[in-house]
């Protein structure tokens, strides 16, 4: 809004100067001579050629004034855009009584269909900055009279105008069409009121405001200012003080950004893509200070994003190698569930035909735009997939390396701490060191995986590091390690002890459960493959051991879990039944390793009884499953398909596949 205001005042300055010069000698000389003299004096004062084409007519009754034909004002010599100002003509009406008294009182001045081209060169030069007037020699007829004349404008208007602004250094462009503007200025050095309407990219824009000292603002001085900019469903209002040389402001700012694309178009920038639910309604109230050095400071700030409200303060400075943002905000219950929906909607574009991790290059160039320290405290955060309790976060970005510190994240009755790092210095790498303590497993797994089969509390730790130009490359390069440590709990819907003792898959389903005292495991990650060989579930009637690999990069699993059902309360004896889980982790296969089950029943020190033990196991399995060995087929071979099928079907039913 400040940029638009500056353009408006520069534009008005040009129009007012033209009007003043055009009428200065009206009562004394013919209109044609008036136009010629005005052009000469303007070029002498500014170094820019001013021309009046066509007839210039003066009038005395009913209003003292002048009407010109087409008017052109030359651009800076480095510009190739054509005239800085061109219009079909000017209409100026004067107050004759004020003119007799030596003052200039303009009742009305109108620029008809003006075309104004404002430019800033790549080196910072502005085409609206005129050269200094040469000092006249003594006795020169053009030397100005001593004493300044009082100037007032009853109404200055622009009708059906156009303004083009181009910043060659920033590469931005802004076009205002259908421009209508009105200015009232009772005293050139006093207050002024302005109303402007225009179109930008087909969107209607309106600006209204009041400045306490018009001449001071044109000269860059700080002066009280009230201004409102409205477009579509958005509005920005400022009430305070502002100046233009250098740009400075202090006051209350209120912004309703329901039509963010239209407002961003004013700055020549595209609107950010905000997901539905976080950006449909945006409102900001703050006490703003724009310092002369260019730094921006926000205090007593309230930011509303749909149902979310944040309060805090922010500072943006430019005295380092990069802009630096410091901000601290706090909020109540934040609803960010729309972010999860936006991520899910874009998940299909993997760059791998929908299979595997995305292979498209990761763009982290935004990390190099500015350094930042941002802190956020919230009573709770709804992420869609998970719900966080009290949360304290700290994001530090320095020289394209961002560190998100999880100072305190309450997660399902537990605590999550640690940090995650995204490093964009000379490539892309991702790392982290996370700790979760005493998290309630059932609501966590229900939120993340849609399962409620594991009840109890658990703790975990993980550290990881990966590098590469894409998500696929990072996942295939991951290294690190971690551990799991779950306290007492239960597996709901599965009675492992009953199933193994009786070789009966009917122990899977509602009403069944497996009680355990603890689950522990440690794992290592190398080249994108997680390896574990010490998973232990310890229970009063059953235990489970596990070992194998999970290929994080290839998204495949090859893991064997071996439940052991105890025969008696003393924990002696039992049947070990290895289950191998293998294949893509989106749909792994489950198979029964009956050879492993038989081997577990064999005593290495009793090789002579091997055949008898094998027959006993095969017979027991066959009896339970109602299978009989055919000629040339062992009982193991006959039992395996049915046992695998029933257990696999039961497990798939248990976990909702």
Q: Give dist(CA 310, CA 61) in Å, integer.
A: 62
Flag the least confident range among 220-229, 283-292, 353-362.
353-362
Last residue of a domain, one of 187, 205, 220: 220
Please write the tens of the pLDDT for every residue from 549-588: 999 999 999 999 988 876 555 555 567 778 888 999 888 8
Q: Is residue 207 classed exposed, middle or buried when 0-12, 13-18 and 19+ CB atoms within 10 A define those classes?
A: buried
Last residue of a domain, one of 191, 220, 249: 220
What separation in angstroms does the CA of 38 have from each of 18, 49, 130?
8, 11, 16
Please write the tens of the pLDDT for every residue from 299-340: 999 999 888 999 999 999 998 889 999 999 999 999 988 876
What separation in angstroms does the CA of 139 have from each of 135, 314, 550?
12, 59, 96
Tell me if 288 is assigned to some domain. Answer: no
Please write the tens of the pLDDT for every residue from 596-608: 555 555 443 444 4
In the chain, % of residues over pLDDT 70: 72
In this prediction, residue 591 carries a pLDDT of: 79
In this prediction, residue 605 carries a pLDDT of: 41
Please write the tens of the pLDDT for every residue from 59-70: 665 566 778 889
Question: How many structural domains are present in the chain?
Answer: 2
Tell me if 90 is assigned to some domain. Answer: yes
Q: Give dist(CA 281, CA 307) in Å, integer.
A: 8
Q: Is the pLDDT of residue 163 over 70?
A: yes
In this prediction, residue 170 carries a pLDDT of: 78
- Side-chain-side CA neighbours of 390 within 13 Å: the count stands at 5
Flag the least confident range among 221-235, 257-271, 327-341, 440-454.
257-271
Tell me if 497 is assigned to some domain. Answer: yes
Give the count of beta carbons closer than 10 Å to the beta carbon of residue 57: 12
Flag the least confident range among 72-76, 152-156, 283-287.
152-156
Q: Is the pLDDT of residue 622 over 80?
A: no
Q: Give dist(CA 285, CA 236) in Å, integer.
A: 10
Tell me if 476 is assigned to some domain. Answer: yes
Residue 619 near residue 627, CB atoms below 8 Å:
no
Average pLDDT over residues 460-489: 96
Backbone Cα Rg of the chain = 39
In this prediction, residue 44 carries a pLDDT of: 73
Average pLDDT over residues 360-387: 94
Q: Give dist(CA 192, CA 214) in Å, integer.
A: 6
Please write the tens of the pLDDT for every residue from 623-648: 555 555 555 554 445 545 555 566 66
Largest CA distance in the chain: 135
Please write the tens of the pLDDT for every residue from 238-280: 999 998 878 899 999 999 987 777 777 666 667 777 776 677 7
Last residue of a domain, one of 195, 220, 245: 220
Q: Is the pLDDT of residue 372 over 90?
A: yes
Tell me if 580 is assigned to some domain. Answer: yes
Tokens of 541: 């009637």
Q: Which residue has the higher pLDDT, 282 or 139?
A: 282
Residue 532 near residue 551, CB atoms below 8 Å:
no
Contacts of 569 (CB under 8 A, 6+ apart): none
Tell me if 89 is assigned to some domain. Answer: yes
Range of the domain at 70: 1-129+149-220
The whole-model pTM stands at 0.74
- β-partners of residue 105 are 152
Tokens of 33: 């001579």
Q: Which range is most confident: 231-235, 291-295, 457-461?
A: 457-461
In this prediction, residue 15 carries a pLDDT of: 57
In this prediction, residue 435 carries a pLDDT of: 97
Tell me if 142 is assigned to some domain. Answer: no
Residue 23 near residue 15, CB atoms below 8 Å:
no
Tell me if 561 is assigned to some domain. Answer: yes
| Virtual torsion, Cα 494, 495, 500, 506, nearest 10 deg | -70
Q: Average per-residue pLDDT in the chain?
A: 80
Q: Is residue 148 classed exposed, middle or buried when 0-12, 13-18 and 19+ CB atoms within 10 A define those classes?
A: exposed
Helix (H, G, I), strand (E, B) or coil at 202: coil
Place of tokens 């003509």: 89
In this prediction, residue 376 carries a pLDDT of: 97
Contacts of 441 (CB under 8 A, 6+ apart): 454, 455, 456, 457, 458, 486, 489
């Amino acid at each position: 809004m400040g940029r638009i205001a500056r353009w408006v005042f520069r534009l008005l300055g040009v129009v007012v100067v033209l009007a003043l010069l055009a009428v200065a000698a009206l009562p004394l000389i013919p209109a044609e001579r008036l136009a010629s003299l005005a052009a000469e004096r303007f070029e002498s004062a500014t170094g820019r050629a001013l021309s009046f084409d066509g007839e210039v007519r003066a009038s005395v009754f009913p209003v003292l004034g002048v009407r010109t034909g087409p008017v052109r004002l030359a651009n800076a010599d480095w510009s190739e855009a054509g005239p800085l100002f061109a219009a079909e003509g000017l209409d100026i009406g004067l107050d004759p009584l004020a003119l007799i008294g030596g003052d200039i009182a303009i009742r009305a001045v109108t620029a008809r269909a003006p075309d104004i081209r404002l430019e800033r060169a790549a080196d910072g030069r502005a085409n609206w900055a005129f050269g200094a007037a040469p000092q006249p020699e003594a006795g020169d007829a053009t030397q100005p009279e001593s004493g300044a004349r009082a100037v007032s404008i009853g109404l200055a208007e622009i009708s059906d105008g156009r303004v083009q602004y181009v910043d060659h250094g920033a590469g931005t462009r802004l076009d205002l069409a259908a421009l209508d503007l009105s200015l009232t200025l009772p005293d050139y050095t006093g207050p002024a009121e302005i109303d402007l309407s225009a179109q930008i990219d087909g969107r209607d824009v309106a600006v209204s405001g009041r400045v306490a000292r018009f001449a001071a603002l044109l000269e860059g001085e700080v002066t009280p200012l009230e201004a409102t900019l409205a477009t579509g469903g958005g509005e920005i209002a400022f009430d305070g003080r502002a100046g233009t040389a250098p740009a400075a402001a202090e006051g209350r700012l209120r912004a309703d950004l329901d039509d963010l694309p239209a407002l961003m178009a004013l700055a020549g920038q595209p609107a950010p893509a905000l997901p539905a639910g976080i950006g449909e309604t945006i409102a900001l109230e703050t006490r703003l200070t724009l310092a002369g050095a260019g730094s921006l400071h926000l205090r007593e700030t309230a930011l509303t994003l749909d149902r979310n409200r944040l309060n805090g303060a922010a500072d943006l400075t430019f005295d380092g190698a990069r802009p630096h943002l410091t901000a601290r905000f706090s909020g109540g219950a934040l609803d960010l569930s729309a972010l999860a929906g936006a991520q899910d909607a874009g998940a299909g574009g993997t760059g791998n035909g929908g299979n595997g991790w995305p292979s498209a290059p990761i763009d982290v160039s935004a990390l190099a735009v500015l350094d930042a320290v941002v802190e956020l405290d919230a009573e709770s955060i709804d992420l869609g997939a998970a719900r966080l309790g009290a949360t304290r976060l700290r994001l530090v970005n320095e020289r394209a390396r961002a560190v998100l510190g999880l100072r305190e994240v309450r997660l399902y009755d537990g605590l999550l701490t640690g940090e995650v790092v995204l490093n964009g210095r000379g490539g892309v790498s991702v790392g982290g060191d996370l700790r979760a303590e005493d998290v309630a497993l059932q609501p966590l797994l229900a939120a993340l995986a849609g399962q409620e089969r594991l009840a109890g509390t658990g703790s975990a730790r993980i550290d990881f590091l990966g590098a590469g130009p894409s998500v696929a490359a990072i996942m295939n390069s991951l290294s690190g390690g971690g551990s799991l440590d779950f306290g007492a709990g239960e597996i709901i819907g599965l009675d492992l002890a009953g199933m193994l003792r009786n070789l009966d898959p009917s122990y899977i389903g509602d009403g069944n459960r497996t009680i355990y005292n603890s689950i522990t495991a440690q794992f290592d990650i190398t080249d994108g493959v997680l390896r574990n060989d010490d998973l232990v579930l310890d229970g009063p009637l059953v235990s489970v051991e596990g070992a194998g690999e999970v290929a994080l990069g290839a998204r495949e699993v090859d893991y064997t879990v071996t439940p052991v059902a105890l025969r008696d309360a003393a924990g002696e004896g039992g049947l070990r039944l290895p289950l191998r889980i293998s294949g893509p982790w989106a749909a792994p296969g489950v198979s029964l390793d009956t050879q492993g089950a038989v081997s577990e029943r064999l005593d290495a020190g009793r090789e002579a009884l091997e055949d008898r033990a094998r027959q006993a196991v095969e017979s027991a399995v066959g009896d339970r499953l109602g299978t009989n060995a055919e000629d040339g087929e062992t009982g193991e071979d006959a039992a395996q398909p049915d046992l695998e099928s029933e257990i696999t079907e039961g497990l798939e039913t248990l976990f909702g596949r």
